[in-house]
Amino acid sequence: MIVRVPATSANLGPGFDTLGLSLSLYNRFEISPSIVQSIKIDGEGSNIPKLLKDNSFIKIFKEIYYELGGDVKDFTFHLKNEIPISRGLGSSSAVVVGAIISAYEILKVSYTRDLILSKAIKYEKHPDNITPAVNGGFNIAMIKNSKVFYIRHKIPNDIKAVVVIPNKAISTRYSRRALPKQYSLNDAVFNISRSSMLAGIFLSKRWNLLKIAGEDKIHQDKRMALLPALFAVRKEALKRGALMSVLSGSGSTFLNICYRDDAPNLAKSLSNKFREFRVLELEFDNIGFNIE
């Protein structure tokens, strides 16, 4: 059995811990019963030996598997990862969502998307990555009484993503700690207005308005200061056709959204100028998790 989970981009600039979308880059988790436990990692993370010994996919899978009443058994785990680790592209959400779904699938216990989200939020406290990982598309998510509520909307194919992935990892936990604990009323209004506008843009497809909706005063500039080249990435992307250029999740990746026809030139300009970073032209994913 193979569970496939997409990459995600959270915040979308001003929508801190609230807005997120899903991208066509995938982690595949293949599990089969076995006499002895083994793990193989291909792709992202395959060069990190620690992941073979201390692997959160296996931990979460086993916790849910036993919670569901599974027999004591060993498994072969084969993780085929396309999502870069600690780059703000939702690799840990993919692990959490993939592990939970794998446990339900292997035990043939039925589940809904809402049930998966209610389990996932215990492992990943912010709903803006797990919700698009489960649903695909553009998602507005919030938590009330420990439950995830969301509105999900399909992303049409007249826009595309061009992501710029630096070789430096940024840990979400570390970069959250560096954020202020309090913000002014003006800053709060600044973010609420742009985040609401952004949600409206995705629902109404008025993409030209993306140009005014990507700024925020909560987290981006403070986090980008950890890797100052990102300021130049944003400037160049906006100059070369991006409608919106924002830090993806807590970084270090930058997410640029542009009209489909502009994507090849935008990707080319960015990869010519930032040779040390990886630049990928990606479709938006509208499927969410999938059993292959």
Exposure b/e, 244-254, CB count within 10 A at least 16 = b:
bbbbbbbbbbb
Cβ distance to ligand HSE smaller for residue 45 or 127: 127
Q: How far is the CB of 1 from ligand HSE (least distance, A)?
A: 27
Q: Indicate whether 250 belongs to the interface with ligand HSE (CB under 6 A).
A: yes
183/194 Cα distance (integer angstroms): 16
* Shortest reach from residue 10's CB to ligand HSE, in Å: 4
Q: Which of 3, 10, 60, 133 binds ligand HSE (CB under 6 A)?
A: 10
Among the residue ranges 74-82, 112-120, 121-129, 155-163, the one whose residues contact ligand HSE (CB under 6 A): 121-129
Q: 239 in the Ramachandran plot: left (φ > 0), alpha (ψ -120 to 50) or beta?
A: alpha
User: In sequence order, what are the residues at sequence separation of 6 or more whose Cβ sits closer than 8 angstroms to the Cβ of residue 9?
Assistant: 20, 21, 23, 88, 89, 90, 132, 161, 163, 248, 249, 253, 255
The nearer residue to ligand HSE, 55 or 172, going by C-beta atoms, is: 172
Establish if 172 lies at the interface with ligand HSE (CB under 6 A).
yes
6 binds ligand HSE (CB under 6 A): no
- Shorter beta-carbon distance to ligand HSE: residue 166 or 249: 249
Site for ligand HSE in 190-229 (CB under 6 A): 219
Cα-Cα-Cα-Cα dihedral sign, residues 110, 124, 193, 226? negative
Judged by CB under 6 A, the number of residues near ligand HSE is: 12
CA geometry: angle 140, 277, 44, nearest 5 deg: 70
H/E segment holding residue 113: helix 113-123
**N residues, the chain:** 292
User: Taking the complex as a whole, how short is the minimal distance between the CB of residue 2 and ligand HSE, in angstroms?
Assistant: 25
The residue ranges that bind ligand HSE (CB under 6 A) are 10-11, 16-17, 126, 128-129, 172, 176, 219, 249-250
